[in-house]
Amino acid sequence: MPEIRVYNTLSKTKEPFAPLRAPAVGIYLCGPTVYAEAHIGHMVGPVIFDTIKRYLTHNGYQVTLVVNITDVDDKLIAQSRKRGVPMSQIATEMTADYMANLKELGVNQIDYMPRATDHMDDIIQFIQCLESQGYAYAVDGDVFFEVGKDKSYGELSNRSTDQQQGEGGDAAARKRSPSDFALWKSAKADEPAWDSPWGRGRPGWHIECSAMSHRILGETFDIHGGGLDLMFPHHENERAQSTCCHNAPMVKYWMHNGLMRAGNKGKVGGKNDRDPATESVAEQTEGKISRSKGGGGLAELIRRQTGERLRFFLLRTHYRSTIVFNDEALAEAGTSLEAFYRFFDRFEELTGTSFYDLSAAENREAGAIDPAGDKVLEEAAGLREKYFAAMDDDFNTGAAISVLFDLLRTMNRHIDQSGLDKNTAADSPARATLLSVAGVLRELTSLLGLFVKPVPAAAGGDDGDSGLSDQLMDLLIELRKTARQNKDFATSDAIRDRLAEIGVALLDKKDGTTWERTS
RNA sequence: GGCGACGUGGCCAAGCGGCUAAGGCAUCGGAUUGCAAAUCCGACAUCCCGGGUUCGAAUCCCGGCGUCGCCUCCA
């Protein structure tokens, strides 16, 4: 098995990936607290871990990926009051929004999405486990974790306990130390509540992750992921809870993805002439993206940009680095994606087969190709190696994607140089070579969750009269063809220019002219 | 104040001590095309600054400057 290396936040180094119970791998990714619509930043973790699971699976591992939904929390209660609807309704709505966004981005590798409210028994048992071992104490219906009892507390986020502020408010008086945090919060009269040994109440923020990861993945599991902003206090507290309850390490590898930032890098013309009415959310709020700053509306963003473009945009950069997000950057990602779509068209024209219908290799070994002296295949085999080397190295999707472009060039060059066209014999070696290399591209892009299905036709379609548009276009192309044959280029160019003005591009190719919408 | 990340061509972005510093966007040449588009070929960086370690550093260390994040809710 090839060596995969993973950056572990706990050790601050890349470590060889050696799962506890290979080939089984357990991954727990912190999902959202569902009190508001998701924003683009919420997708970074799901996309990278979806990709990581695809990659590990391809390498022979059997991965269980868990993404939790935290559906009970102070913010949900606040939202519930504000809107005058039950907390559960808000949770249901926002969970649906989150899942719809995941689907649009091609995130389909998640095995479990446990909800905190479905695991109250596990949560209560977990707190009892801590209480019985002296790590937790109850005061007037609240239960707190005593941070001072955990000697390894702070190791993950690299802080000492005397730096901790801990939550203030009315709970402060009941805590033994300011850095202690709530495991269970007693409920006020109008708050959602569950019965517990300490009275009616609800879980604190971190305990649901400890309880649910334990329930599904066990006391110690392989990978725990989440955004960098969760490292403290969330993950530090989770780790303390789980480690103390089980007297065993919680996680072998802690992986944290970088955060996304909104910004105007180009800023030609400065900020003054921006029109808030037409700007995206990202442009309006420079700096950190968060719900409290108005982030959100991801569904709308997806509608404008397509999920694939967003996924590609996220994968272009290494998962641990900060991504500056704005419409220009997204547009650039879209532009570079076009080269693939054009190739897919070209491929289909030449082979009569849709790239999307090619089947990806089952696993890493099965995908290997035998060049048998073919220069083009040798090149492709080398590029495939390069791709895997990049992915083996802490899932370097950015470097891996560069290989995709190399592969594209290899194939286009091969088509150009071999003179392949749609009349080439089906059993010609040049065709076979193209199909082999395309097979590699299919394998490598599937691993990134890219190009799994054709992009929907350009927005603003023809609705009812698409048949008519096609017929009109056929007519215009026919007329222009005649003009060109008569060397009447003034007419042929006029047709093309006028069509361009109304958003239709004509593309003259070897064996005919095609058209497409440009706006 | 404490902790941490980052600074690579016009822009984005790989690189983790040693091949000619990936790839994308943009730009400029060339092939191809009636002209375009697409495609292919080629051009375009010594890596924020200053020291140091080393036979050798974009890559390690120290010191600056700059940007950003966490320390309170946050993917």
Give tens-digit pLDDT for A331-388: 999 999 999 999 999 999 999 999 999 999 999 999 999 999 999 999 999 999 999 9
**Same domain membership, residue A475 and residue A366:** no
Whether residue A265 has pLDDT greater than 60? no
pLDDT tens for each residue of A40-68: 999 999 999 999 999 999 999 999 999 99
Q: Which residue is nearest to nucleotide B23 (CA to C1')?
A: A402
Query: Is residue A46 included in any domain, yes or no?
Result: yes
Cβ(A175)–Cβ(A106) under 8 Å?
no
Q: What residue numbers bound the domain in which A408 lies?
A: 331-447
DSSP summary character for residue A185: E
pLDDT bin (cut points 50, 70, 90) of residue A264 is: low
Nearest alpha-carbon partner for A254 in A283, A282, A293, A226: A226
For residues A173-199, give the mean pLDDT.
91
Rounded Cα–Cα distance for residues A139 and A186 (Å): 10
Q: Which residue is nearest to nucleotide B37 (CA to C1')?
A: A507
**Same domain membership, residue A366 and residue A217:** no
Indicate the pairing of strand A512-517 with strand A504-509: antiparallel
Residue A301, amino acid: L
Rounded Cα–Cα distance for residues A297 and A37 (Å): 7
Query: Is residue A438 included in any domain, yes or no?
Result: yes
Q: C-alpha angle A366/A368/A374, rounded to 5°?
A: 140
**Same domain membership, residue A419 and residue A381:** yes
- Distance of A316 CA from B66 C1′ (whole Å): 25
**Same domain membership, residue A96 and residue A43:** yes
Sequence-distant (≥ 6) Cβ neighbours of residue A463 within 8 angstroms: none
Q: Is the peptide bond between A23 and the residue preceding it cis, with omega within 30 degrees of 0?
A: yes
> Which residue bears the tokens 């929390």?
A73
**Same domain membership, residue A490 and residue A436:** no
DSSP summary character for residue A230: G
Alpha-carbon Rg for chain A in angstroms: 27
Sequence-distant (≥ 6) Cβ neighbours of residue A486 within 8 angstroms: none
- Going from the C-alpha of A443 to that of each of A257, A383, A451, the distances in angstroms are 25, 12, 11
Least confident of A72-76, A411-415, A487-491, A506-510: A506-510
Query: Is residue A343 included in any domain, yes or no?
Result: yes
How large is the ipTM?
Answer: 0.95
> Which residue bears the tokens 């190739």?
A343
- Distance of A333 CA from B48 C1′ (whole Å): 27
For residues A58-79, give the mean pLDDT.
95
Number of neighbours of residue A233 by Cβ within 10 angstroms: 20
Whether residue A282 has pLDDT greater than 80? no
Indicate the pairing of strand A181-186 with strand A201-203: antiparallel
At A300 the pLDDT is 86
**Same domain membership, residue A503 and residue A406:** no
Q: Which residue is nearest to nucleotide B11 (CA to C1')?
A: A266
At A100 the pLDDT is 95
Total domain count, chain A: 3
Indicate the pairing of strand A5-8 with strand A221-227: unpaired
Could you say which of A235, A260, A285 is where a domain stops?
Answer: A260
pLDDT bin (cut points 50, 70, 90) of residue A486 is: very high
Residue A188, amino acid: K
Query: Is residue A417 included in any domain, yes or no?
Result: yes
Q: Across A278-436, where does the E strand assignment appear?
A: 287-288, 323-325
Q: Which residue is nearest to nucleotide B14 (CA to C1')?
A: A399
Closest nucleotide to the alpha carbon of A332, via C1': B25
Tell me which nucleotides of strand B come within 7 A of a protein CB: 1-6, 11-16, 22-26, 33-41, 68-75
- Distance of A85 CA from B50 C1′ (whole Å): 62
> Which residue bears the tokens 């590990």?
A56
**Same domain membership, residue A210 and residue A349:** no
Could you say which of A447, A476, A505 is where a domain stops?
Answer: A447
Closest nucleotide to the alpha carbon of A508, via C1': B37
Could you say which of A245, A260, A275 is where a domain stops?
Answer: A260
At A285 the pLDDT is 54
**Same domain membership, residue A154 and residue A38:** yes
Whether residue A38 has pLDDT greater than 50? yes
> Which residue bears the tokens 């087969």?
A353
> How many alpha carbons lie under 13 Å from residue A519 in its C-beta half-sphere?
6
CATH number of the domain enclosing A401: 1.20.120.640
**Same domain membership, residue A440 and residue A471:** no
At A304 the pLDDT is 87
At A168 the pLDDT is 54
Closest nucleotide to the alpha carbon of A390, via C1': B14
Residue A307, amino acid: G
Cβ(A76)–Cβ(A89) under 8 Å?
no
- Distance of A16 CA from B6 C1′ (whole Å): 25
Query: Is residue A397 included in any domain, yes or no?
Result: yes
Query: Is residue A410 included in any domain, yes or no?
Result: yes
For A261, phi then psi, to 5°, come to: -130, 140
- Distance of A111 CA from B12 C1′ (whole Å): 34
Q: Which residue is nearest to nucleotide B2 (CA to C1')?
A: A163
- Distance of A62 CA from B14 C1′ (whole Å): 29
**Same domain membership, residue A378 and residue A247:** no
- Distance of A361 CA from B58 C1′ (whole Å): 37
Query: Is residue A273 included in any domain, yes or no?
Result: no
Sequence-distant (≥ 6) Cβ neighbours of residue A409 within 8 angstroms: none
Cβ(A310)–Cβ(A43) under 8 Å?
yes
Query: Is residue A174 included in any domain, yes or no?
Result: no
- Distance of A227 CA from B75 C1′ (whole Å): 5
**Same domain membership, residue A488 and residue A415:** no
- Distance of A263 CA from B69 C1′ (whole Å): 14
Q: What is the mean pLDDT of chain A?
A: 89
Closest nucleotide to the alpha carbon of A157, via C1': B3
For residues A202-216, give the mean pLDDT.
96
**Same domain membership, residue A26 and residue A109:** yes
Closest nucleotide to the alpha carbon of A291, via C1': B74
